[in-house]
Amino acid sequence: MSGTFLFDGQPVPFEDGQTILQAARAAGHYVPHLCWHPDFPAHGSCKLCIVKVAGRHVSSCAMPAKDGMEVESNTPEINGERRALLQMLFVEGNHFCPSCEKSGNCQLQALAYELEMLTPRFNHFFPDRPVDASHPDVLLDFNRCIFCELCVRASRDVDGKNVFALTERGIHKHLAVNAESGRLADTDFSAGDRAASICPVGVILTKRVGFASPIGARKYDAQPIRVVAMQEDE
Amino acid sequence: MDTAASEVSRPKLRVATTSLAGCFGCHMSLLDIDEHLFELAQLVDFDRSPITDIKHCGPCDVGLIEGGVCNAENVHVLREFRRNCKILVAVGACAVNGGLPAQRNHLDLGACLQQVYQFRDGVAQPQIPNDPELPLLLDKVHPIHEVVRIDYFVPGCPPSGEALWKFLTDLIAGRTPRLSHPLLHYD
């Protein structure tokens, strides 16, 4: 069944099976997201794509569109909640942007700019997970991980290698490498894998290419993520 | 309304600045407003600051804090600023979230001091400095909002001169300061 719903007051058509996020995006409306990727099924962990439908906050990446529903996305209430979610992600990791190779090309950072996050506000966790630099071509900084599982999904479903996994529970949850030793060097991972380039933040970094783009020429320097994300398939 | 007259009659704001566990880069960025410094001098008087000779912060309208909190003296200075400033502003990544100095937070402090003052090659009389005149380091570097209440945050490492000028002119004019793309950045 296809139909039309209202997205921030604008009519948006949808096909059967489309989620709110997919239909809104197809109609040219940007919805903030981190763990969602057009090439993969919805994940629902980052919650940045929340919208308000019939008084309830729902994840637009997972919620099927229904005829006649009224969706609020770009409102002070929803953006405030998104900003709080970003603040939580920032304090849970070590997001020292001034020394991060991903700065300027990072979706987490660009979204925080988009939502005008001026401070992470909460007390910092300062996690201490050792860097894995064992692989000849790729470096892993686990302290920047936002648990979107895009690398897990890309490695398992696209590369057919199943290199990554999330392990443990609660705040102890972290990204792990599926090797007896836990080291990336002891897997068949390669820098050409889909999983090597899909990380939205600065966890999976190709060695010897950092800081190559001049400031001003990076992905989100000239245009905000709401513009960049609609021009490409990330 | 005669805005020109009200501008003239408005008393100058008093502004204090300091660098805690900072690199003075945020102060250099403030100087990067270049000729706007002359306008700023018309609008504000500086209290305690690295650019004045005043030793302690007196009653002020605005306090600009650069750097995180890494030692005991930083805590005293920060509390002095909070007591005296109506509006306290965290300027730069270090003040906002600890910044790059907070990368020491996963290291043992004793081991850090030993590495630098005892075990490093070429040190003549290896010992960790222990004179009581020296402030003791805290075991972790903290953002300043974990020590005192902060009214505004200006991120950036450093914030650009344009961003600081926009922030200050908003604040001085009585507007809620707002930084958005492209003035807003963390690096």
Q: pLDDT (tens digit, 9 = 90+) per residue, B7-34?
A: 556 789 999 999 999 999 999 999 999 9
Contact list, A215 vs chain B (CB under 8 Å): 187
pTM: 0.94
Contact list, B103 vs chain A (CB under 8 Å): 94, 96, 99
* Cβ–Cβ contact B132 with A under 8 A: no
Nearest-by-Cβ selection for A126 from B96, B106, B182: B106
Segments making up each domain of chain A, as ranges = 3-74, 84-210+220-231
What's the fold here for domain B13-103+139-174?
A: Rossmann fold (3.40.50)
Minimal-distance CA residue of chain A relative to B104: A126
Segments making up each domain of chain B, as ranges = 13-103+139-174
Contact list, A118 vs chain B (CB under 8 Å): 96, 152-155, 179, 184
pLDDT tens digits, one per residue of B33-70: 999 999 999 999 999 999 999 999 999 999 999 999 99
Collect all residues with Cβ–Cβ distance below 8 Å to A65 and sequence separation of at least 6.
Answer: A3, A5, A12, A14, A18, A19, A20, A22, A23
Question: What pLDDT is recorded for position A158?
Answer: 97
The CA angle A183-A188-A191, to the nearest 5 degrees, is: 90
Closest by CA to B139, choosing from B113, B100, B117, is: B113
Counting Cβ atoms within 10 Å, is residue A192 exposed (0-12), middle (13-18) or buried (19+)? exposed
- C-alpha gyration radius of chain A: 18
Assigned token pair, A98: 């001034």
Write down the architecture of domain A84-210+220-231 according to CATH.
2-Layer Sandwich (3.30)
Model confidence at B1, pLDDT cuts 50, 70, 90, reads: very low
What's the fold here for domain A3-74?
A: Ubiquitin-like (UB roll) (3.10.20)
Question: What pLDDT is recorded for position A234?
Answer: 47
Question: What pLDDT is recorded for position B76?
Answer: 98
**Spatial separation of the C-alpha atoms in residues A205 and A151, rounded to whole Å:** 12
By three-state DSSP, how is residue A39 classified? coil
* Cβ–Cβ contact B102 with A under 8 A: yes
* Cβ–Cβ contact B94 with A under 8 A: no
* DSSP assignment of B88-139: EEEESHHHHH-TGGGGGGGS-HHHHHHHHHTSSTT-SS------TTSPPEEE
Residues of A with CB under 8 A from a CB of B: 90-91, 94-100, 103-104, 109, 112-114, 116, 118-121, 123-124, 126, 128, 215, 221-222, 224
Mean of per-residue pLDDT scores for chain B:
94
* Cβ–Cβ contact B152 with A under 8 A: yes
Nearest-by-Cβ selection for A113 from B103, B145, B185: B185
Give the residue ranges of chain A where pLDDT is below 50: 234
pLDDT tens digits, one per residue of B80-91: 999 999 999 999
ipTM of the complex: 0.92
Question: What pLDDT is recorded for position A87?
Answer: 98
pLDDT tens digits, one per residue of B112-139: 999 999 999 888 889 999 999 999 999 9
